[in-house]
């Protein structure tokens, strides 16, 4: 999916490409914040907690995008709709659901 989004002109990476598969959720969040990248995840529980922790500590992140498990084609089209309608600045410190972009 990342390569398809790149073909549409978006700067995306995966945890695997960044060599981050074996790190904690906290480390994933810190990496994404440092790189000014939003996170797309199915892990609502842990990343909701991290979002609230960042807000409580006045730390900034570049957005968390939650999704339910869906076929890859559905996820791709929803991500494309989100990326074409929400700016990075609008996503900053926010939580959004891909289901909003059906």
pLDDT tens-place string over residues 11-58:
998 888 888 888 999 999 999 999 999 999 999 999 999 999 999 999
With contact defined as beta carbons under 8 Å apart, do 41 and 47 qualify?
yes
Of the pLDDT bands very low, low, confident and very high (cuts 50, 70, 90), residue 73 is very high
- What domain count does the chain have? 1
Share of the chain above pLDDT 90, in %: 83
> By residue range, what is the domain housing residue 12?
2-101
pTM score: 0.92
How much is the pLDDT for 20?
Answer: 85
Q: How far is residue 65's CA from residue 37's CA, in Å, rounded to a whole number?
A: 11
Give me the half-sphere count of Cα atoms (radius 13 Å) on the Cβ side of residue 59: 15
Average pLDDT over residues 85-102: 96
């Amino acid at each position: 999916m990342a390569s398809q989004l790149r073909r549409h002109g978006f700067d995306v990476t995966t945890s695997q490409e960044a060599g981050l598969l074996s790190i904690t959720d906290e480390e994933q969040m810190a990496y994404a914040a440092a790189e000014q990248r939003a996170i797309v995840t199915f892990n609502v529980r842990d990343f909701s907690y991290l979002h609230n922790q960042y807000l409580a500590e006045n730390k900034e992140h570049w957005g968390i995008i939650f999704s339910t498990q869906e076929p890859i084609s559905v996820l791709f089209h929803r991500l494309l709709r989100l990326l074409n309608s929400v700016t990075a600045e609008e996503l900053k410190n926010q939580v959004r659901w891909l289901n909003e972009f059906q």
